[in-house]
């Protein structure tokens, strides 16, 4: 209980609950922003987005419903599939601890895989492009007869090549 005064000389008691998170075994997280696949305990695949990554775990966003302390696996581009356990839940965000810590080189590999733009960023870029027609690239299309001739000629060449193999 926390005791305090509300101005009338009486003590007021307020129940409080304090939460402490164990960060002793947690390594520094680095932003990754990569699409991923998670598999829950039933091995069902779910789309996910990895926000950050460290040698001991990651933070993923997904529409899947995972339970606290549930076993799962995370498939991260540049690294592979890693077994993990859900250690924190905040809405659609799940903090995951890897069953076995990974090497720093694996974290670096995920970071070098490139950054994936979030859909909201993509939508902003599209809006900017639509607003400025001069930034759009113009493509010249071949005439219809030319396109049909290329498709037909390529098809015939492939069939002839296949017939020569048989």
> Between 14 and 144, where is the model more confident?
144
Question: 57-73 pLDDT, tens per residue?
Answer: 999 999 988 999 999 99
Q: Residue 18's pLDDT is what?
A: 47
Distance CA 3, CA 115 (A): 50
Q: 120 in helix, strand or coil?
A: helix
Q: Residue 21's pLDDT is what?
A: 44
Of 8-12, 50-54, 107-111, minimum mean pLDDT range: 8-12
Contact in structure between 59 and 68 (CB atoms under 8 Å): no
Query: Which residues neighbour 25 within 8 Å (Cβ) at sequence distance 6 or greater?
Result: 56, 97
Answering whether pTM is above 0.75, one says: no
Distance CA 150, CA 55 (A): 52
pLDDT value at 137 more than 70: no
The CA–CA distances, whole Å, from 90 to 62, 68, 83 equal 11, 11, 20
User: What is the C-alpha radius of gyration for the chain, rounded to an integer number of angstroms?
Assistant: 27
Question: 36-48 pLDDT, tens per residue?
Answer: 999 988 888 899 9
Q: Residue 27's pLDDT is what?
A: 66
Give me the domains of the chain, ranges plus CATH numbers. 30-117 (2.40.10.220)
Percentage of the residues of the chain whose pLDDT score is greater than 90: 39
pLDDT value at 100 more than 60: yes
Query: Which residues neighbour 73 within 8 Å (Cβ) at sequence distance 6 or greater?
Result: 38, 39, 81, 82, 83, 84
pLDDT grade for 134, boundaries at 50, 70 and 90: low
Q: Which of 43, 137, 135, 130 is nearest to 83 (CA)?
A: 43
């Amino acid at each position: 209980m926390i005791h305090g005064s509300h101005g009338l000389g009486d003590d007021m008691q307020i129940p409080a609950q304090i939460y402490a998170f164990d960060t002793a075994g947690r390594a520094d997280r680095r932003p990754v922003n990569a699409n991923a696949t998670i598999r829950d305990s039933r091995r069902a695949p779910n789309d996910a987005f990895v926000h950050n990554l460290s040698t001991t775990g990651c933070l993923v966003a997904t529409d899947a419903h995972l339970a606290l302390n549930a076993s799962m696996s995370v498939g991260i581009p540049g690294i592979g599939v890693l077994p993990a356990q859900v250690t924190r839940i905040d809405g659609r965000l799940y903090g995951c601890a890897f069953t076995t810590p990974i090497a720093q080189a694996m974290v670096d590999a995920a970071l070098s895989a490139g950054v994936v733009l979030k859909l909201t960023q993509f939508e902003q870029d599209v809006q900017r492009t639509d607003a400025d027609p001069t930034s759009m690239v113009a493509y010249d299309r071949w005439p219809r007869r030319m396109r049909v001739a290329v498709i037909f000629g390529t098809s015939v060449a492939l069939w002839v090549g296949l017939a020569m193999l048989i």
